[in-house]
Structure 1
Amino acid sequence: MHSLIVVAHPDPASLTHAVAARIAQAIADAGESNTTAIADLMAEGFDPRFNGEDQALFRGIAPPPADVAAEHARLDATDTLVLVYPLYWWSFPALLKGWIDRVFTQGWAYAEGADGKVEKRLQRLQVHLVGIGGADAAMIERRGYGAAMNTQIDMGIFDYCGARVLSSTLLLEADTGAAAAHLQTAMEIGRKIGHPTS
């Protein structure tokens, strides 16, 4: 099983990067047949701006731009996608949202038929979401942010393409000394991904 862990944070010394590394290590430790790769979108210089080439692809009049085609190939070789990201305004950072906008394209992630029905093309892909935030769970619940993120991300993006979100975890109060606990949770997430039946 191959897992791609996508990270969107500008600081390689951040808790976000540490959580991604722990998840990758736990997946690898869980079985000899497990492989992982970390896609650090910032370090790789991924351009999140939806441009004219992307619009032409959406309209079906041009092939994918080279960087998008490379991401398609990377995801085609992936069984499990893990997104690790800080919460910015109760969603993905712009870099990660732009990656989704540009990579989860019509014709690859989904296809709209002439009859208006959507063909979900990523049904083979398993997804795990790990958001890291400074707020506490009571605030998330009181304001309905958790439900809003579930609707927008889990359902609005991944379910639309047929990808199955197997876990969606918020690691909260990250600014108040919870880092050690979050790193332990990251190990547990990685173990569950590496041993899906245990």
Structure 2
Amino acid sequence: MRVLVVAAHPVETSFVSALHGRAVQILRAGGHVVDDCNLYAEAFDPILSRQDRIDYHDTAVNVRNVAPYVRRLQDAEALLFIHPVWNFGFPAILKGFVDRVFVPGIGFGLDQDGKLSPQLTHVKRYGAICTYGASRWTAFLMGDPPRKFMTRGMRGYIPLNKPCTYLACYDMNHTTPERRATFLNKMERGLQSWSSPN
């Protein structure tokens, strides 16, 4: 498969960056073609401008400022997001990527009655690998918005019958080398399964 990996962390020595590098290695070793999109390294502009918002529903022009990223999304057969969870949400650069690239006509269709239809029907599977400073229980009490968006909200873009992998390393505020190694092994097993027939 051609996998678009979208990574979002500003520090190259972070655990998220280590997960990103290892995930790309695993996918390539599994025979996948990886389009490695590091949003910070590519200086992606996450700001949805006034004109972007005015043009948002006009499918003739709404991708003109992000056309290269739209092409990469359209070429992908699988999507993998790798990011930290900050303040129980995505880093701003990743949120901006979704807001600006997954627009009407690309990520979803919107009919005259306001009904949504997924447009990323070419995507065979998708997932996220992320870290949380908080514990799983604290994230649960807060509603765990990133998990809900990935496992539920993304269904507005990707049909329900496509599998989703969500791997989260919680409680990084109390992490240890052993816990990080355990999660890395879990991630490796999870991504190796992407080479299995769907």
Report TM bin, short chain: 0.7 to 0.9
The separation in 2 between residues aligned to 1:61 and 1:84, in whole angstroms, is 28
Q: Deviations over 1:91-117 (max 9, x none)?
A: 211110011000100121112112332
The separation in 1 between residues aligned to 2:20 and 2:51, in whole angstroms, is 31
- Distance change (3 Å), C-alpha of 1:65 and 1:30: closer
- Which residue is 1:130 aligned to? 129
1:85 to 66, 83, 86: 83
The separation in 2 between residues aligned to 1:96 and 1:183, in whole angstroms, is 22
The separation in 2 between residues aligned to 1:112 and 1:193, in whole angstroms, is 31
* Structure number with higher relative contact order (C-alpha < 8 Å, ≥ 6 residues apart): 1
The separation in 1 between residues aligned to 2:188 and 2:149, in whole angstroms, is 27
Q: Which moved more, 1:173-182 or 1:66-75?
A: 173-182
TM-score w.r.t. the length of structure 2 is 0.86
The separation in 1 between residues aligned to 2:67 and 2:8, in whole angstroms, is 19
- Which residue is 2:184 aligned to? 183
1:106 to 95, 104, 119: 104
- Whether 1:72 aligns to 2:73 is no
Q: Which runs of 5+ in 2 are unaligned?
A: none
- Whether 1:97 aligns to 2:95 is yes
- Which residue is 1:160 aligned to? 156
Identity of aligned residues (%): 24
- Which residue is 1:48 aligned to? 46
Q: Which moved more, 1:106-115 or 1:68-77?
A: 106-115
* Partner secondary structure for residue 50 of structure 1: coil
Amino acid corresponding to residue 45 of structure 1 in structure 2: A
* Partner secondary structure for residue 72 of structure 2: helix
Q: Which moved more, 1:21-30 or 1:180-189?
A: 180-189
- Distance change (3 Å), C-alpha of 1:150 and 1:180: closer
Comparing both structures, which one devotes a greater share of its residues to helix? 1
Q: Are 1:53 and 1:65, in contact at CA under 8 Å, matched by a contact in 2?
A: no
In the TM superposition, what is the alpha-carbon distance from 1:144 to its structure 2 partner? 4.7
* Partner secondary structure for residue 191 of structure 1: helix
- Which residue is 1:8 aligned to? 8
The separation in 2 between residues aligned to 1:128 and 1:152, in whole angstroms, is 11
Question: How many aligned residue pairs are there?
Answer: 192
In the TM superposition, what is the alpha-carbon distance from 1:45 to its structure 2 partner? 0.6
